[in-house]
A and B are shown apart, each in its own frame.
Chain A
Amino acid sequence: AQTVTQSQPEMSVQEAETVTLSCTYDTSENNYYLFWYKQPPSRQMILVIRQEAYKQQNATENRFSVNFQKAAKSFSLKISDSQLGDTAMYFCAFFGIKAAGNKLTFGGGTRVLVKP
Chain B
Amino acid sequence: EPEVTQTPSHQVTQMGQEVILRCVPISNHLYFYWYRQILGQKVEFLVSFYNNEISEKSEIFDDQFSVERPDGSNFTLKIRSTKLEDSAMYFCASSEVGTNYGYTFGSGTRLTVV
Contacts and interface: CB of A to CB of B under 8 A. Distances in A.
A101 B91 CA distance: 16
**Interface size range on B against A:** 20 to 34
The SS class assigned to the B binding surface is strand
A108 B58 CA distance: 17
A64 interface: no
Interface in B77-111: 89, 91, 93, 95, 98, 100-101, 103-105, 107-108, 110
Interface string A29-42: 00001010100001
Interface of B: 31, 33, 35, 37, 41-45, 47-48, 50, 55-58, 89, 91, 93, 95, 98, 100-101, 103-105, 107-108, 110
Interface of A: 33, 35, 37, 42-47, 50, 52, 91, 93, 95, 97, 100-109
Given A100-B55, A102-B98, A43 B44 contact: no
